[in-house]
Amino acid sequence: MTSKEAVAKAIHAVVNDLSVETILGLIEKPKNSDMGDLAFPAFSLAKTLRKAPQVIAAEIAEQIDAQQFEKVVATGPYVNFFLDKSAISNQVLQDILSNGSYYGNQDIGQGRNIAFDMSSPNIAKPFSIGHLRSTVIADALANIVEKLGYQPVRINHLGDWGKQFGMLIVAYKKWGDKAAVEANPISELLKLYVRINAEAENDPSLDEEAREWFRKLEAGDAEATELWQWFRDESLVEFNRLYKELDVSFDSYNGEAFYNDKMDEVVDLLQEKGLLEESEGAQVVKLEKYGIEHPALIKKSDGATLYITRDLAAALYRKRTYDFAKSIYVVGNEQAAHFKQLKAVLKEMGYDWSDDMEHVAFGLVTKEGRKLSTRKGNVILLEPTVAEAVARAQAQIEAKNPNLPNKEAVAHAVGVGAIKFYDLKTDRMNGYDFDLEAMVSFEGETGPYVQYAHARIQSILRKANFIPDGKSDYQLNDSESWTIIKLLQDFPTTINRAYNHYEPSIVAKYAVSLAQSFNKYYAHTRILDETPERNSRLALASATATVLKEALRLLGVEAPDEM
């Protein structure tokens, strides 16, 4: 039973009219913790009881069974509860020390699958910051749902199909150089792509040629397929290098091309259900009744399929293959209209499971306050940027702790963690400015700050030679440790909230508060001094380290034991 539930039960015993459920919904946390740990506002009872809320609060406080609490007092219209610090600290610390990293695990999902459409860069194009955000946010959400008992399925829906591959084949056949592509796949292929697009402006026959090659590709022509496969393989070598740096992996790389032979079925189904209409030679589904003005374009007049056609096939395939409880698309907010259409078309087809599909969107990243734009040269190249973050982390470690063993590994954990954490601590719909200096700083609400708090606790525990034990009594009743105990107690519900809002920032902000509270505690309390509380204080430190490490793990960030 949580403390909130205990409070709700105690109130219910006095005010039978209100169910425990209702009371749970009314209980608040007083703004100032001097006022108590939990508060029940009596306003809602004033009408039925025909008394002033102040009077009701006083009556409840008097009648309540206060034994299990430190004290219960009425303050104006509120009944304020002061929890029993010693009992709760003991309960929370034992819970964490005996469960270790499993603390906070829940079995809400009962092993059901949740599909994550994530990362999904485009072949032969640079991996953008948007793709990074998708990768990092989805990976964190996947860890979070796993902790709640679901089985995440990480799907990299590669952009590996479309007319642009016709363009690329034509360009490569005209101007390509195998060795150059192999040395620098994405930048070489991008150059070819840019060049053919520029030349096609004056020479429309190139466009026609490209369309022809894409048709061949769609039909399985050997030469076209071989080139396409090679572009894809070479691009993936580059992407995988980055994924390895980021320590992210996928269960599936089934991208758009995978659905090439699965789109006829979708089109047939739409036809059978009478949903396809002709519009200027193209096949569309009208979605006005969903408040969507633009029809979904399923097939162009030349018979070519589109992005959404592949997403429809993918949605069906995923439902069949994974029987998902949820199917989550972590994609930039600029594609919101696309995902609205996608869901509406499936709903129109009679698939109520489309309600389980969620577009988890996110905002744009800027650099020096300006929008990123390949054309204007305001770009962030991920691989060198990650390397730079690691180098900066290494320089700081060098200055702080020159004798640290495994300096490279720690610098990697800190540098990569810094980039991820900075992204994840932001409410996802907000963008942020990509500021490497701020990211890698050991001060502020950063990954390194949290990692450092964790490493410092580990060093205290090493010094004390403390072996945590989930059976001993660990009681604390001072107000500084109480702040930490309450945060530790909140960890499980924090994970639920993060899932309910698809918002890893809730976990990131939590980790920052926990690290801050512990640092404050550490500044005021001589943990290692020989006092009667010594073991309880060390238990508190150990539990904090466990939860910090687990919170970081959920975010895909490592927590080195020394740094």
**DSSP class per residue in 148-200:** TT-EEEEE---B--SHHHHHHHHHHHHH--HHHHHHSHHHHHHHHHHHHHHHH
Listed ranges 88-96, 105-113, 119-127, 445-453: which one lies at the site for ligand ARG (CB under 6 A): 119-127
- Least Å distance between CB 142 and ligand ARG? 15
- Measured distance CA(453)–CA(545) in Å, rounded: 8
- Least Å distance between CB 231 and ligand ARG? 15
The contacts of residue 461 (CB under 8 Å, 6+ apart) are: 538, 541, 542, 545
Q: Which is nearer to ligand ARG, 39 or 115 (CB)?
A: 115
Q: Which is nearer to ligand ARG, 206 or 287 (CB)?
A: 287
Q: Which is nearer to ligand ARG, 130 or 468 (CB)?
A: 130
Q: Which is nearer to ligand ARG, 141 or 487 (CB)?
A: 141
Question: Which residue from 169, 176, 171 is spatially nearest to 213, judged by alpha carbons?
Answer: 169
Q: Which of 64, 331, 439, 461 binds ligand ARG (CB under 6 A)?
A: 331
Interface with ligand ARG includes 504 (CB under 6 A)? Answer: no
Q: Which of 329, 482, 499, 518 binds ligand ARG (CB under 6 A)?
A: 329
Contact 421, 505 (CB under 8 A): no
- Measured distance CA(266)–CA(205) in Å, rounded: 32
Question: Which residue from 76, 69, 75, 89 is spatially nearest to 7, judged by alpha carbons?
Answer: 69
Burial of 301 (0-12, 13-18, 19+ CB in 10 A): exposed
Query: Would you give the DSSP letter of residue 435?
Result: -
Q: Which is nearer to ligand ARG, 139 or 311 (CB)?
A: 311
- Least Å distance between CB 429 and ligand ARG? 17
The contacts of residue 375 (CB under 8 Å, 6+ apart) are: none
Q: How far is CA 383 from CA 181, 246, 248, in A?
A: 18, 10, 14
- Measured distance CA(512)–CA(515) in Å, rounded: 5
Q: Which is nearer to ligand ARG, 120 or 426 (CB)?
A: 120
Q: Which of 85, 154, 157, 454 binds ligand ARG (CB under 6 A)?
A: 157
Q: How far is CA 533 from CA 87, 474, 487, in A?
A: 14, 8, 20
- Please tell me the count of residues contacting ligand ARG according to CB under 6 A: 9
What count of Cα atoms within 13 Å lies in the side-chain half-sphere of residue 139? 24
- Measured distance CA(210)–CA(302) in Å, rounded: 14
- Least Å distance between CB 81 and ligand ARG? 48
Q: Which of 122, 254, 441, 494 binds ligand ARG (CB under 6 A)?
A: 122
Structure tokens at 261: 């032979």
Give the residue closest to ligand ARG by C-beta: 159
Q: Which is nearer to ligand ARG, 285 or 541 (CB)?
A: 285
- Least Å distance between CB 117 and ligand ARG? 5
- Least Å distance between CB 362 and ligand ARG? 12
Binding mask 79-118 for ligand ARG (x = CB under 6 A): --------------------------------------x-
Interface with ligand ARG includes 152 (CB under 6 A)? Answer: no
- Least Å distance between CB 122 and ligand ARG? 5
- Least Å distance between CB 224 and ligand ARG? 21
Q: Which is nearer to ligand ARG, 218 or 311 (CB)?
A: 311
Q: Which is nearer to ligand ARG, 121 or 504 (CB)?
A: 121
- Least Å distance between CB 2 and ligand ARG? 38
Torsion sign over Cα 309, 311, 315, 317: positive
Bridge-based pairing of strands 296-299 and 282-285 is antiparallel
Q: Which is nearer to ligand ARG, 343 or 412 (CB)?
A: 343
Binding mask 264-303 for ligand ARG (x = CB under 6 A): ----------------------------------------
Interface with ligand ARG includes 120 (CB under 6 A)? Answer: yes
* Other CB atoms within 10 Å distance of the CB of residue 198: 10
Q: How far is CA 31 from CA 34, 35, 36, 40, 66, in A?
A: 9, 8, 9, 13, 22
Q: Which is nearer to ligand ARG, 311 or 348 (CB)?
A: 311
What is the footprint of ligand ARG within residues 302-321 (CB under 6 A)? 311
- Measured distance CA(408)–CA(298) in Å, rounded: 51
- Contact residues toward ligand ARG (CB under 6 A) are 117, 120-122, 157, 159, 311, 329, 331
